[in-house]
Amino acid sequence: MVSHAPYLVVSISFLVGLSLLLVVHAKDFNQDIDITWGDGRGTILNNGTLLNLSLDQSSGSGFQSKAEYLYGKVDMQIKLVPGNSAGTVTTFYLKSQGLTWDEIDFEFLGNVSGDPYILHTNVYTQGQGDREQQFYLWFDPTAEFHNYSILWNPSHIVFYVDGKPIREFRNLEAMGVAYPKSQPMRMYGSLWNADDWATRGGLVKTNWSQGPFVASFMNYNSENTCVMSSIDNATTSSTIITPCSPDGSSSSSSTSEWFSQRGMDSPSKKILRWVQRKFMVYNYCKDKKRFSKGLPVECTSKNKNKNTKSS
């Protein structure tokens, strides 16, 4: 955590040597983000309000959050690579460390000029993914910034685009489905070349004459997150507010709104059905050829992940 950033901190005991914090601070990439690779191809501009990632034939670039989160709602405004973006992948995701990692993915698969991007989503638990859903978007994601959000709490994970839910992954541990709940994750973003698979299964390659490719990021919001930190409570002088609690208890209305959410309300479910009916182009829960021995449990149970809607 950067010491000069204005923030409010709440701390409760959670894991040995760690504290669980709720942090509220200004939206400044210099305070929130570390550019971790790309040899100068990632740049923070405009007094910390804009972050550009670039990709050329030598390398892409990427960044990560300074903080690790155990549950939260994170938002990022992104403007994707314009024009012929075939072969490129722009990402915004949460990921833990280790061989049995958890991960919640937004990946934007580029395409040739005039063809739409594909928004690729996935959820990994304990190193196991294979839960892809893909969508077209109902707007041009290269013309201006749009907001992409991940809500992750003990009950479910929800992917949002401009505030519209497009996917829900429910906690179905009672049915034997693993759920990310104990490994803190950082937020990551990247722009990289994946022309071996990203566009039409790798049939369309990156046209390097169109480069360097640039994707832009703004207004990262980690305000509604439970942050893992090694800050010593005894040395932290800060205003006390209601904590994000592992048992789901919270009297803070802003925290409770996302942390204690157990499902989506009727209007949200209606929007989710509309998006999945109109814009979903791949759903792992419909891929019986891929899962020839039987669909995953969450796809077939009565309390399924809302994963059976397809175009």
Active-site residue (options: 107, 132, 173, 223): 107
Active-site residue (options: 68, 103, 168, 298): 103
107 included as an active-site residue? yes
| CA separation for the pair 208, 87 (Å, rounded) | 10
79: β partners: 216
| CA separation for the pair 262, 35 (Å, rounded) | 35
Give 82's contacts (C-beta < 8 A, 6+ positions apart): 142, 143
DSSP at 171: -
Q: Are the CB atoms for 65 and 76 separated by under 8 Å? A: no
Q: Where are the alpha helices (DSSP H) in the chain?
A: 29-32, 253-259, 266-279, 297-300
| CA separation for the pair 64, 94 (Å, rounded) | 9
| CA separation for the pair 299, 286 (Å, rounded) | 8
Residues involved in catalysis: 103, 107
